[in-house]
Structure 1
Amino acid sequence: MALTTLIKALPKAELHLHIEGTLSPALMWELAQKHGIKLPFSSVCEIETAYQFSDLQSFLDLYYAGADVLRSEEDFYQLMQAYLQRCKEHNIVHTEIMFDPQTHTHRGVPFDVFMTGFVRAIDEAQEEWGVSVRLIMSFLRHLSEADAITTLQDAEPWYDIIDAVGLDSSELGNPPEKFERVFNQARTLGFKVVAHAGEEGPPDYIWQAINLLNIDRIDHGVRCAEDKELMALIKHRQIPLTVCPLSNLKLKVIEDMATHNILELLEDGLLVTVNSDDPTYFGGFLNDNFAVLESALGMNEQQCRQLVKNSFMASFLDDTEKQAWIQKVDAI
């Protein structure tokens, strides 16, 4: 079986996906027209052309501007439904989706609006396609910890459908230690915890995420390779890394996909996974990220299968579900 065919055939889990980062130029344009919002673009094509970034911050500037078109429950339903349809197309059977409440509440859009839209789409997808979904509520690290604590409190009516909390947005200058108290509170409430670290930020940010936030998973984490002691710890504890190859290329974390270290980390025994991050902004959904590992890095079948199995091992599914999916991967 050709590797491209195998990638499509294998059931997969996606663990690092920002739902706001799945907003397509076409949907952005449609919702702007619906709400009478004037975008700094004259067409869908012009929006697509704007999806070129020099670094993380240049992406975030457009990302937050785009999110402003999301106003009603139906908008958030459409956003989530479109991504879950992609899951069906890419054979993603389990997904753990990040969402950014503060991006919406700071615009006057309350939890009841976006959560109701999300849940409606999730319920439909689970019933129609059988995809399983977990939600990760992410705090914006460029805002204060006090704001994050307020967000955690405001989310209380929705605790039963939120599985984890995370930390995203501008990494440089916003170290994990800034959010130690809110993560302690989240863990006390029973949430799993994840955090972006080691994308633009230094290896020290990964150390902080491990030692101060007690994270269950590191989002990105590719810069761990700069610290041999850190690499050894991550390998020993099998702390998952949710790596996003096309994102790393698009945001200049790497200059060329041929230099990406994901397969080196895999061969070194780290629990690395493949994910799409903000796929409409970065040029590809999950299968596209796998495909570029074959074309640019020469990923072989064994590596592909291991990365897919890692996606289940690193997930928040229970052990029985993990093993069931891994057996299905082995059977193909």
Structure 2
Amino acid sequence: MEHFLNSLPKAELHMHLEGSLEPELMFELARRNNIELPYDTVDQIRAAYNFGNLQDFLDLYYQGAAVLQTEQDFYDLTWAYLKQCETQNVIHTEPFFDPQTHTARGIDIGTVIRGIDQALQHGREQLGISSRLILCFLRHLSEDDAALTLEQALPYRQHFVAVGLDSSEAGHPPAKFQRVFDKARSLGLLTVAHAGEEGPPEYIWQALDLLQVARIDHGVRASEDPALIERLVREQTPLTVCPLSNVRLRVFDKMSDHNVLELLQQGLRITINSDDPAYFGGYMGENFLALHQGLSLTRAQAIQLSRNAFDSAFVSDDEKAALQARLDNFVAHYRK
């Protein structure tokens, strides 16, 4: 099953590039940029990853991001992630990035976007991995700050297809960002938002009705609201679920408690993703394998989850058909 899940053609729709910063690369970039880390070894960093909640994780996440300074740094970060995709047959990815994490440190937004975009271009050319980029706003900051970030990003509009909403969910409802999302949509950008992870089902309703999102990131607490489940099934709004992340951040105590396959069984358009793979114990392959080990994920379910992701990607109908054809070909010829 491990070989099958690793070989399965996959798309990832919920992954924060800053959250793919492995300890080894963190040390390398810190040395390159003469930044002193509060850790002496890779093992010490990995030990620090034993956090107990979302805020503890975010504190570490922003500390790690401080080593990202130059266009080359952002290229190297993105390229390292794409090489992980290559080993696990992730053939399409739509990564998030958090410009405010960097502009607040005096890093020009163009430095961030150019470095990421060049790596994504090389990923398409050299690895055959298609991609779309999503700019996320930090919800613990103000809407005015988000609006300024959008304005700063507009010279690079051709490099990203959507805006999202991430960071601390509790106490920061989607309604807080309605105007900046209206502005983004008026510019032709798609919208997504984290909702229903640590926040209540009401946040999912707000994301749908006020931000008019095309996808809900996480969304697992939708199960607490039968009317919301009914709507998500009826409208086939994708949920980009991150199993290892949910367990690591105590949304669920253990993988066997996770509701992801129940939601799939109810008819929701569920996709599987890695969220912040360097911090949460694995990339796409590890997330699929964890579902097999903890919830007895079957091959048929894994295929459906992958198909859902291709259906939910921000690409043209022709590109979706090509991605689905690769999945169909794999299913028809897989023999091991």
Partner of 2:333: none
Structure-2 residue corresponding to 1:114: 112
Match for residue 31 of structure 1 among 26, 29, 32: 29
1:268 aligns with 2:266: yes
Report SS of the residue matched to 2:188.
coil
Amino acid at match of 1:108: G
Distance 2:189 2:221 in 1: 26
Report the counterpart of residue 334 of structure 2 in structure 1.
none
Deviations 1:200-247 (A, max 9, x none): 000000010011111000000000000000000001000000000000
Match in the other structure for 2:139:
141
Structure 2 unpaired stretches of 5+: 331-336
Deviation at 1:102, TM superposition (A): 0.2
- Residue 317 of structure 1, aligned match among 302, 308, 315: 315
Structure-2 residue corresponding to 1:80: 78
Residues in 2 aligned to 1:20 and 1:73: alpha-carbon distance in whole angstroms: 14
CA displacement at 1:112 relative to structure 2 = 1.8
Q: Matches of 1:260 and 1:110 in 2, distance apart?
A: 40
In structure 2, which of residues 199, 202, 206 is the aligned counterpart of residue 201 of structure 1? Answer: 199
Indicate if the aligned counterparts of 2:110 and 2:153 stay in contact, CA closer than 8 A.
no
Q: Percent identity?
A: 52
State how far apart, in whole Å, the 2-side matches of 1:220 and 1:102 are: 22
Task: Report if aligned partners of 2:274, 2:284 keep a CA contact under 8 Å in 1.
Answer: yes
- Distance (whole Å) between structure 1 residues aligned to residue 255 and residue 15 of structure 2: 20
Q: Secondary structure at the match of 2:141?
A: coil
Aligned-residue Cα RMSD (Å) equals 0.8
Q: Distance in 2 between matches of 1:43 and 1:328?
A: 42
Question: Mean alpha-carbon deviation: is it higher for 115-124 or for 301-310?
Answer: 115-124
CA distance in 2 between counterparts of 1:215 and 1:135 reads 16
The equivalences for 1:229-244 within 5 A come to 229-244=227-242
The 5 Å alignment of 1:25-104 reads 25-104=23-102
Is it true that 1:257 corresponds to 2:255 in the alignment? yes
Give me the whole-angstrom Cα distance separating, in 2, the residues matched to 1:9 and 1:40.
38
How far does the alpha carbon of each residue in 1:123-181 deviate from its partner, in whole angstroms, 9 at most, with x for none?
21111111111000000000000000000000011101110000000000000000000
Whole-Å separation in 1 of the counterparts to 2:126 and 2:15: 21
Partner of 2:160: 162
> Displacement, 1:15?
0.2
Bigger Cα displacement from structure 2, 265-274 vs 121-130: 121-130
Q: CA deviation at 1:37?
A: 1.5
SS of equivalent to 2:95: strand
- In structure 2, the residue matched to 1:220 is 218
Q: What is the TM-score with the length of structure 2 in the denominator? A: 0.97
1:268-296 deviation digits (Å, cap 9, x = unpaired): 00000000000000000001000000000
**AA in 1 matched with 2:253:** E
After TM superposition, what 4+ stretches of structure 1 lie above 3 angstroms from structure 2? none
Q: Which moved more, 1:110-119 or 1:295-304?
A: 110-119
Q: 1:153: which partner in 2?
A: 151
* Alignment gaps of 5+ in structure 1: none
- The alignment partner of 2:164 has SS state of strand
Deviation at 1:328, TM superposition (A): 2.5
Q: Residue 267 of structure 2 aligns to a residue in which SS?
A: coil
Paired letter, 1:134: R
Q: Give the structure-1-normalised TM-score.
A: 0.98
Secondary structure of 2:306's match?
A: helix
